[in-house]
Structure 1
Amino acid sequence: MKLLYFVGATLAVAALSYAFWPIPEPLEQNAATVSESDTALVDVLLPDTLSANAQIGKSMFEAKCAACHGLNAVGQDGIAPPLVHVIYEPNHHGDESFQRAATLGVQAHHWRFGDMPPVEGITRGEVTMIIAYIRELQRANGIN
């Protein structure tokens, strides 16, 4: 009987935690940043230069990810979140999180955009280059 109460209390706490978990707000906008469209959720400061891997990752991101996440990972209102956001900092969403999301898809948990489907035909190596690009964008915007 005690086990039943414990399980019920645990489920109640989990449900309340989920219901009241804060939904992140977009980053504050800064006059020195750029956004690509009216649907962009954040403005992103672009780095002066990109490493060779990040340059490859940028072209792959534009081909495989930008349709949803927007050019330069600014997100798109009603479509997909910005990846240049503190939620995706390396200590919270490590590189393997990006690998798994691209390969397996991911259930919505931080944002209210719905589930992300797997990216068809993407390889682990391509995602590695895309991560290099995302991380350089993040660092240029103070997300380490």
Structure 2
Amino acid sequence: MTTPNTGDTVTIDYVLKRTDGEVVGDTGQAGPQEIQLGNGQIFPQIEEALTGMNVGEEQSVAIPCDKAFGPRREEMVIDIPRANLPAEPAPQPGMAMQAQSPDGQPLTLYIVEVGDETVKADGNHPLAGEDITFDITLREIKQAA
């Protein structure tokens, strides 16, 4: 059987889990994902696992937090005056909003708490500080021309 190489496009299904086994993402509704190997579209550990797999094969790939979404940084949790936010939609915990970091880069903030005067928002990725596991299934290989 053929295994994929850098430059090939693969189709995979995956289930993303926290260390405790809680599923936090998968290809369920969106369907299988196409990835071109070697383009940095996915974690290097997954690319490495895929290059040794055959179509139909399944594998679990554990990725420690420092190689995944990084450590959780408390300085990324900030209070924003409600007066600085648009009135609609009303802020709700879990809601994502776009902001700009001090160096001008786009930043996604997640509202974690809504008070009368301020909103607490977290700029950490929701999986920051967590080890994660991808259960991947290789569905198809399209070899590079």
Could you tell me the TM-score, scaled by structure 2's length? 0.25
Higher relative contact order (CA 8 A, sep 6+): 2
Higher helix share: 1
Could you tell me the TM-score, scaled by structure 1's length? 0.25
